[in-house]
A and B are shown apart, each in its own frame.
Chain A
Amino acid sequence: QVQLVQSGAEVRKPGASVKVSCRASGYTFSVYGVGWARQAPGQGLEWMGWISAYNGNINYAEKFQDRVTLTIDTSTSTAYMELRNLRSDDTAFYYCARDANHRFDYWGQGTLVPVSS
């Protein structure tokens, strides 16, 4: 069965970076894209970006363009999201999701990243 398993919670200090992983299984990873969104406590979902595991194309939301990097490792079927120069308002759950022809049909369980000094 299709699964996206994300890395565990990561506590960071302001100014630091975090790299969240999203390991896929149960399907051919290189055929689909992966989207990333985040959700601050009590807030709505916020779109961060998308990467194609097929051809490596990447698109970032304008808000995160200068601080986020999306990558993939097809040898391990894993997608990564790195966010730099963290601030307290980056405290959130970070989600990955499989893009199957413009629908996000499977989601990871979420990774909590608290940012606090």
Chain B
Amino acid sequence: QSALTQPASVSGSPGQSITVSCTGTGGDIGSYGHVSWYQQHPGKAPKLIIFDVSNRPLGVSHRFYGSKSGNTASLTISGLQTEDEADYYCISLTTSTSHYVLGTGTKVTVL
């Protein structure tokens, strides 16, 4: 089971919107509505920010938006803020024996 493919880095200026993609296959993202996104700041554990493609846990900013089309899920951050500078990972349920598959991770930089 290969990892889900994410761009290594995405950057934007404060106030702009950026989108991070997460590309899988028909055996994971394409088969399930169980894609979640995680934000990780340096030296910290990951934090859930989106689950089931587009749902936000309580307390997560509405600036984070998730979507899916075919085998690709996307995370959009609107109104980019300096605190959004972090690494972002996607995870999907998969038909493979690993049960879950993780994305390669994307470093978001606020210029």
Residues of A within 8 A of B (CB): 35, 37, 44-47, 49-50, 59-62, 95, 97, 102-105, 107-110
4 shortest interchain CB distances as A-B pairs: A59-B99, A44-B105, A103-B51, A102-B34
> In the complex, which residues of chain A have a beta carbon less than 8 angstroms from the beta carbon of B104?
44
In angstroms, Cα B97 to Cα A60, docked, is 7
Between-chain CB contacts (< 8 Å), 6 pairs: A49-B98, A62-B96, A102-B34, A102-B51, A105-B51, A110-B45
In angstroms, how far is the closest chain B Cβ from the Cβ of A32? 14
How far is the CB of A110 from the nearest CB of chain B, in Å?
Answer: 6
A62 to B94, CA, bound (A): 13
Against A, the Cβ 8 Å flags (1 = close, 0 = not) of B64-93 are 000000000000000000000001010101
A41 to B32, CA, bound (A): 31
Q: How many A-B residue pairs have CB under 8 A?
A: 63
B102 and A37 contact, CB distance less than 8 A: yes
Known: A60-B97, A62-B97. A104 touches B36 (CB 8 A): yes
Query: Which residue from A62, A105, A110 sits with its C-beta under 8 Å from B48?
Result: A105
Is the pair A95, B45 in contact by a Cβ cutoff of 8 Å? yes
Check if A44 sits within 8 Å of B36, measured CB to CB. Answer: no
A47 to B105, Cβ gap below 8 A? no
Chain A: minimal CB distance from B52 (Å): 7
Query: What residues on B are CB-neighbors of A45 within 8 Å?
Result: 40, 46, 89, 102, 105
Residues of chain A lying within 8 A (CB to CB) of residue B52: 102-103
Known: A46-B102, A104-B36. A59 touches B97 (CB 8 A): yes
Cα A96 to Cα B1 with chains together (Å) = 20
- B100 and A50 within 8 A (CB): yes
With a cutoff of 8 Å between Cβ atoms, the chain A residues found around residue B105 in the complex are 44-45
**CB neighbours of A103 from chain B (8 A):** 34, 36, 48, 51-52
State the CA gap A104–B93 with chains docked (Å).
11
Which residues of B have CB within 8 Å of A110?
45
Q: Complex: how many Å from CA A94 to CA B98?
A: 17
B 19-47 to A, binary, CB cutoff 8 A, 1 in contact else 0: 00000000000001010101010000111
